[in-house]
Amino acid sequence: MEPLIHLRDKVAIVTGASRGIGESIARTFASHGAKVVLASRKIEGLEAVAASIRKDGGDAFAKACHTGSRDQVEALVEAAVARFGKVDVLVNNAATNPYFGPMMSIDEAAWDKTFEVNTKGYFFATRAVAQHLMARGAPGSIVNVASVAGLLAMPLQGVYAMTKAAVISMTKTLAMELGTAGIRVNAIAPGLVDTKFAGALTANPEILQFVMDRTALKKVAQPIDIAGMALLLASDAGAYTTGATMVVDGGWTL
């Protein structure tokens, strides 16, 4: 019997793939047989990851893309199809969090940037890939990297948390709307992960201790911990899972 957890013959786009969770997901997908398209705003970091994946025997292509721009997102999908002939999987992971502080003090520019990338970007990418899949008459899997911030009160990160709550809501509605086309849409809600993106939290002893005190496993996640769940949802092992938000937080939200 063939293993369920593989991505052979699949093409996957991973946004925010130059480092952290996105890089780990891209590497994991490639090691399980997928051709991967790596996207982020800056091409330099992407090229290094793509070259490393190819050196390890995988197949990777880097494409600069600002996911808050509909035109750039559509160009990303077109480039993926031109390079590999199709797209089967999308991982929406690119995100931003430019403001750390009380919600009442955020300025409009930081608000707009957070929503532009974290919600509009996810929607544009999902729509572009879903339209491609429906035109092919093919099933597919879309994985949205959300956050436990979208499930809890999150002082000092309130607007970021709002965008992640929106992603969870979007995941449910699109799962319902796209289900008849065979397109699954799921979300992952990581807890605290040891990445540069989360540096403002992991570098703050008081915040880190607060998280550790309420986390059952008493440790911070590594990017590979999130990549494993993304692989499950993207593969045939997740074939009957859609509209779900998979909490991967070491027991933080218990």
The set of catalytic residues is: 160
Q: Do 124 and 106 contact (CB within 8 A), yes or no?
A: no
Return d(Cα 81, Cα 92) in angstroms, integer.
Answer: 17
In the numeric block, which tokens belong to residue 218? Answer: 């008493």
- Residue type (1 letter), 241: T
Read off the DSSP letter of residue 62: E
Q: What is the DSSP string of 41-89?
A: S-HHHHHHHHHHHHHTT-EEEEEE--TT-HHHHHHHHHHHHHHHS---E
Q: Cα 53 vs. chain centroid, distance in angstroms? A: 19
Q: Which residue pairs from 205-212 have beta carbons closer than 8 angstroms and sit at least 24 positions apart in sequence?
A: 211/252
In the numeric block, which tokens belong to residue 54? Answer: 């190819």
